[in-house]
Amino acid sequence: MPSSPACEILPWQQGRWDALTASPRLGHALLLAGPAGVGKTRFAHAFARRLLCDEGHGCGHCRSCHLVGAENHPDLMVCAPAPGKTEIPVDTVRELTGFLTLSAHLGRGRVIIIESAERLGRAAANALLKSLEEPPPGAYLLLVSDAPERLLPTVRSRCQRIDFAVPARAAGLAYLQSAGCLQPEEALAQAAGAPLRAAALTAPDLQMGEEMLKSLEGIRQGRLDPLAAAESWHKIDGKAAFAVLADLTARIVQQGVPGASGDPDEPRAKRLQALAGGLDLTQIFQFWDKILDINELLDAPLDRHLIWDEVFLTWKQVSSRKI
């Protein structure tokens, strides 16, 4: 019986997997933390399969492994923010914690995966604390987060944290080439080194990255008015555009931090270096935080004109102030 690709760990995760599965002291709550697109959710599903496997090691062939791969295992619940919602509500968490107290259908215990765990509302996070502090026997919680610092400290402190980073560039390129990506170098650069995000990019997405870079360059060089730039962006899919902007800003930060200049061989490296040159890094980090905050609110009924006006006016202010 073949296993699901969604439950397979990726080549650059093998070291994390080996260390976790060999550990004699496995926590009942794991926090899988790191940037989007490096495979944390796949790792979580693979580990859930291992926890629930009839053979105890994630064989991929038993009934439990098949049910996990088919997303139909009665002892596994997966939670994520509902479409159009910015938070995981407290009622959802109460349902999860109630699920943990039930007897396992197949006898191996119960597992919950919480995706985008940083979007637990305060009340929801507090409702989860009892299960983190006093878990029922055989219960496991796997929290997946792109922004673990946004979780309540009381939640973070009760989890065994496993950090994931973007893989080496060669590993990312090898993955994209094996996946049939037509522009692997450009895609990997635009996704800030995250292979799964890069694999999902289309040709229009890559073109969007080029146009966004031109907007930032034009504003910094004084050739483009920030409000004129905003006018050309407010009609575009906000989620995609803000993801591109966040990645570009992250790469500008990389180019500007001494000793962490990023990959000089990636496409557009010299242009990013020029954008970063002489800027106040504290303000760039604040700009980056603003983008991430807005990105989480894009499902709400916000005025896109005002959002893009604020973004590009802020970039004008940031890029005009030198160290």
pLDDT tens-digit series, residues 124-134: 999 999 899 98
Q: Which among 157-161, 260-264, 268-272 has the top mean pLDDT?
A: 157-161
Flag whether pLDDT at 266 surpasses 90: no
The pLDDT of residue 8 is 85
Residues 159 and 224 in one domain: no
Domain boundary among 109, 143, 163: 163
Flag whether pLDDT at 150 surpasses 70: yes
Residues 76 and 224 in one domain: no
Residue 256's domain comprises 202-320
| Neighbour count for residue 206 (Cβ, 10 Å) | 18
Flag whether pLDDT at 54 surpasses 70: yes
Residue 133 in contact with residue 29, Cβ under 8 Å? no
Amino acid, res. 148: P
Residue 99 in contact with residue 110, Cβ under 8 Å? yes
Residues 149 and 216 in one domain: no
User: How far, in Å, CA of 3 to CA of 220, rounded?
Assistant: 50
- Collect all residues with Cβ–Cβ distance below 8 Å to 202 and sequence separation of at least 6: none
The pLDDT of residue 256 is 66
Q: Residue 61 domain-assigned?
A: yes
Residues 50 and 152 in one domain: yes
Over residues 200-207, the mean pLDDT reads 90
Flag whether pLDDT at 2 surpasses 60: no
Domain boundary among 163, 194, 213: 163
The CATH number of the domain holding residue 58 is 3.40.50.300
Q: Residue 189 domain-assigned?
A: no
Residue 29 φ then ψ, to 5°? -130, 125
pLDDT confidence band for 57 (50 / 70 / 90) = confident
Domain boundary among 163, 186, 220: 163
Distances (CA, A) of 167 to 187, 200, 262: 14, 17, 13
The pLDDT of residue 263 is 58
Query: Residue 240 burial by CB count (10 A; 0-12/13-18/19+): exposed, middle or buried?
Result: middle
Tally of structural domains, the chain: 2
Residues 136 and 206 in one domain: no
Residue 173 φ then ψ, to 5°? -65, -40
The CATH number of the domain holding residue 244 is 1.20.272.10
Q: Residue 186 domain-assigned?
A: no
Q: Model's pTM, two decimal places?
A: 0.81
Per the prediction, the chain carries an average pLDDT of 87
Q: Mutual orientation of helices 203-220 and 304-320 as an angle, nearest 10°? A: 50
Q: Residue 188 domain-assigned?
A: no
Q: Residue 56 domain-assigned?
A: yes
Residues 27 and 122 in one domain: yes
Q: Residue 184 domain-assigned?
A: no
Q: 7-48: per-residue pLDDT in tens?
A: 789 999 999 999 999 988 888 999 999 989 999 999 999 999
- Pick the more confident residue, 66 or 282: 66
Residues 211 and 157 in one domain: no
Residue 127 in contact with residue 94, Cβ under 8 Å? yes
Residues 159 and 42 in one domain: yes
Residues 223 and 146 in one domain: no
Q: 63-119: per-residue pLDDT in tens?
A: 999 999 898 999 999 999 887 777 899 999 999 999 999 988 987 889 999 999 999
Residues 206 and 152 in one domain: no
Amino acid, res. 288: W
Flag whether pLDDT at 312 surpasses 50: yes
Q: Residue 168 domain-assigned?
A: no
Residues 226 and 86 in one domain: no
Residues 257 and 314 in one domain: yes
Q: Residue 180 domain-assigned?
A: no
